[in-house]
Structure 1
């Protein structure tokens, strides 16, 4: 990173490749990839993208599983002076169409396994100048896509260096889509400076080292999962990338085999692991730290994690995509403040305000405000939504993030999360917009009305509960509606509970009273 006085995000890879070229930096799908290989492959792909017409500031969408190709693509897009947009592989066709229309990417990098989902949306996306598909795909399927090539074709020419550098650190590095209360996904715009500041801050309190072996079972499209990869590359550590947490015993084997030192997860993962009878049969002694975010971790789970990973530091954390991370609870404070989500991360400030924007003292609930270099640039193509979140700060000319989350702080400055004001449900570590689930329910023939709420759940953080009114004479049962939802929604959005009711409670103004539904 010494060649450029102000580094960019992808310089993390350049630096690690120069200093640790022969070191294995990625373990994925049975492949062991060195930093030198990641550098060479990402350079080749970056040049291919540039030659295909990708220019500075263009968006490139990566719609893929956790694979070697996805990791290479992330760094290649940045090296091509473009903006990365990672999309969860669980995304359904209609939502992908919306995202392509909103993002207007110049290129799409994806895989054959997802062909049924991306085929039609890609063919109707007028902005695409290149589609790159990994995996075995026949000629007919490939030629049906706009300007499509196989992954191997992008690796045909070796390059010792990336394309000419065009960006500076205030340019966008990524757009990360997150659900909102309207059910319409919003693209969080993050600059190189945003992401490097967040990475440096989190890595500092976790004390991430170059001999770290970090396990990631979270999707790279989930910013918590993405930053595991970025932090590993920044430190010159090794990332062990799994497709998912679908097979918990396999994850435990991987911890023992690879001598994992860093284990990030969400409450759902830890709850599942702690219930496994075979947990004690695996050697987990290599773990140095465990992190949890995405929802509040129950106190009993924290205590069990301390017992299972007896030699590890346990970190409970809290954050938003709009600023990556807000707080962390230092491990030494776990016993005395187990219900707190901690103190502000390094190089960040936070405070609580009332409805008029006035600061509140200890023990008083209000909206959390975040100030720091991690705060997003805004929402992609949504100036009104941006204006509601980014407001003038205490110093002239600055903007701070009004999170919309209701919290309170104690006299020592430790934060306690209370609720999210915009109704977004955090389930399995993922954000779920009630309106998106309601729209899917209303798409089922015979469903007349639907209302979705979140209810506390020890395993999921919050479970999705749907109240459904069906047309008179229609015979439905809860399982049938769940199956219909599975056809329309990502798995984490499918309601755990479905209640068929004759009607929905309403307020005096005729709106559905979700407060009554939650209390029922």
Structure 2
């Protein structure tokens, strides 16, 4: 017998955090999150994030305030994300490995109300705040505790009252799907990180599309080794809570054998990867000996999988589907290659995902014919709201669309389509380097290299690499009488930039080739 539904039940929630609450109602005692030895049910996560949201509100957090969450993957970071959303604020998840210059920039650019940071980063936070002239509350993530009070300690130890929960209910009711849910900082061609603005509507739309083509269900168990600061890693959690699955969160892929064992023991069904992870897997001598029969699919984005790696993996595990995908932070995901096409078109990233439309256009914005290279243009509700605090940069990538008052995203990526409409990535319109699944701004790295004592000039380019997609090649001009060595350069980089930004190749050169305008001619550098 069919039961009548209320008007509110007829329409799916549009807010990111409401999907967690919905799953808690459907599957209260089901394991939602596994992290190290801890297991949280949907009921646990929903309740604990409610408690933390109340505490954030009582600390003065208002709608659309920004909250920085800085730390390595953990259950507490997940709870902080959902508490931030329930409080009507905007979360900014930062990788624990980012260096002080980038953190300082993001701090000043985003102007957060609260910083929630790993206790290991306390010194870095305090140093940064010495040069920040605005008031911000800081709380540190506890090392071990089952109670949410370990997150926000001083002044937040009292249990919430019924009035507190009513306060939270009223705050939740005030949130719109148009409100900003996340700021994700990505490298920019200007040399400074860009804050990509995603509303609840943007995130939910993109997540629904991805869930649709991955055919995710509440029976899926996903292992996530990717940082939550990386949108690819972040969306694994968001999507899982939307369809009611289980997410196994790992700090990293540092110990591949342990991850493979966990896939076997936890009966994992989905494994999102980047090319470096697949390369490491294929190097394991006894990988075929593990029972991976429950693994339904692997997915890849960040850079194209090498064709030879696809073939080798298919030979080892022909029953595991491979979803090759393409995306960028500005619109999360654009295209995917159906697994049944992976053998036929291994070099393609497929076609546009559901509820997303793509075009290849020439320099005049006119759509080109098959096999002609042009710029990729995207339209759809997955496209970001714009760049935080940068109307100029936003206007550079958004242009007039095909309908009145519509704006479409010009990605800066060169593609072509074949006669069947399958997309093939050619390269970046600008100098941006995509390596190890991350985007690197040459200008940002060049500025850092030039700050090294003994370096006169520096230029950075990306070169093809079968594992990383692109590897970073740095050209260094020494100052007169400088004795600086390759080891000196690498040591400085290890201390001042993230690991993925460290050059793989360093070339010392007498002078950098330049064009008539005095700019470094990177086309000539690529010939060296």
TM-score, normalising length: structure 2: 0.93
Tell me if structure 1 keeps the 8 A contact 2:306–2:467: no
Counterpart pick for 1:157 among 149, 153, 159: 159
C-alpha deviations, 1:204-242, integer Å up to 9, x for none?
Answer: 000011011101110001000000001111111110111
2:4 alignment counterpart: none
Q: Give secondary structure in 2 for the equivalent of 1:22.
A: coil
Cα distance in 2 between the residues matched to 1:407 and 1:506: 28
Q: Helix, strand or coil for the counterpart of 1:17? A: helix
2:445 alignment partner, one of 427, 434, 437: 437
Match of 1:184 among 188, 192, 216: 192
Report the secondary structure of 1:465's partner residue: strand
1:238-277 aligned at under 5 Å gives the runs: 238-277=246-285
Residue 346 of structure 1 aligns to a residue in which SS?
coil
Are positions 1:198 and 2:200 aligned together? no
CA distance in 2, matches of 1:344, 1:27: 32
Q: Which deviations, in whole Å up to 9, do the C-alpha atoms of 1:159-184 show, x marking residues without a partner?
A: 78544221111111111111111211
Distance in 1 of aligned mates of 2:17 and 2:10: 13
**Rounded Cα–Cα distance in structure 2 between residues aligned with 1:159 and 1:353:** 58
Contact 2:13 2:19 (C-alpha < 8 Å) held by counterparts: no
Aligned partner of 2:53 among 37, 46, 55: 46
User: 109-118 or 348-357, which moves further after superposition?
Assistant: 109-118
Shift of 1:506: 1.5
Contact 1:43 1:159 in 2 (8 A): no
Looking at structure 2, the residues matched to 97 and 309 of structure 1 have their Cα atoms a distance apart, in angstroms, of 45
- Could you say what secondary structure the match of 1:2 adopts? helix
Q: Deviations over 1:220-271 (max 9, x none)?
A: 0100000000111111111011111111112112111211110001001111
Distance 2:53 2:400 in 1: 38
1:5 offset after TM fit, Å?
6.7
What residue in structure 2 maps to residue 301 of structure 1?
309
- Tell me: CA distance 1:17–1:100, structure 2 relative to 1, closer, same or farther (3 Å): same
Instruction: Name the CA distance, whole Å, in 2 between partners of 1:194 and 1:342.
Output: 22
1:430-464 per-position Cα deviation (integer Å, ceiling 9, x unaligned): 11111111111111111111111111111111111
* Distance across 2 between alignment mates of 1:5 and 1:247: 40
Residue in 2 aligned with 1:143?
A: none
Q: Is the 8 A contact 1:134 1:152 kept in 2?
A: no
Hey, what's the Cα distance between the residues in 1 that align with 2:123 and 2:10? 44
1:207 aligns with 2:208: no
Partner SS state of residue 222, structure 2: strand
Residues 473-496 of structure 1 deviation map (CA, whole Å, 9 limit, x = unaligned): 221221221011101101110111
Q: How many residues align?
A: 510
Label 1:122 to 1:35 Cα distance change in 2 as closer, same or farther (>3 A). farther
2:76 touches 2:151 (CA, 8 Å); kept in 1? Answer: no
Equivalent of 2:407, from 386, 394, 399? 399
What is the CA distance between 1:7 and its match in structure 2?
A: 2.7
Q: Structure 1 residue 121 and structure 2 residue 128: aligned? A: yes
Question: Which residue of the partner structure matches residue 91 of structure 1?
Answer: 98
CA RMSD of aligned residues (A): 1.8
Distance 1:159 1:493 in 2: 48
Q: CA deviation at 1:98?
A: 0.5
Residues 333-412 of structure 1 aligned to structure 2 (within 5 Å): 333-412=341-420
**Post-superposition offset of 1:156:** 4.7
Q: CA deviation at 1:335?
A: 1.5
1:2-13 equivalent positions in 2, closer than 5 A:
2=9, 6-13=13-20
2:107 to 73, 86, 100: 100
The separation in 2 between residues aligned to 1:452 and 1:235, in whole angstroms, is 43
Structure-2 separation of matches of 1:29 and 1:335: 37
Once the 2 structures are TM-superposed, how far is the Cα of residue 126 of structure 1 from its aligned partner?
Answer: 4.2
Unaligned runs of 5+ in 2: 1-7
Answer whether contact 1:44 1:159 (CA < 8 A) is retained.
no
Q: 1:459 aligns with which of 440, 452, 467?
A: 467
Paired with 2:94 and 2:134, the residues of 1 have a C-alpha distance of 17
Higher mean C-alpha deviation, range 472-481 or range 290-299: 472-481
2:245 to 237, 241, 252: 237
Deviation at 1:136, TM superposition (A): 5.6
Distance of 1:259 and 1:240 partners within structure 2: 11
Per-residue CA deviation, residues 357-379 of structure 1 (Å, 9 max, x unaligned), is 11111111111111111011000
* Contact 2:48-2:79 within 8 A present in 1 as well: yes
- Secondary structure (helix, strand or coil) at the match of 2:525 reads helix
- Provide closer, same or farther for how the CA distance between residues 478 and 333 of structure 1 changes in structure 2, counting only shifts above 3 A: same
In the TM superposition, what whole-angstrom CA distance separates every residue of 1:251-294 from its partner, at most 9, and x where no partner exists? 11211121111000100111111112132232222110110000
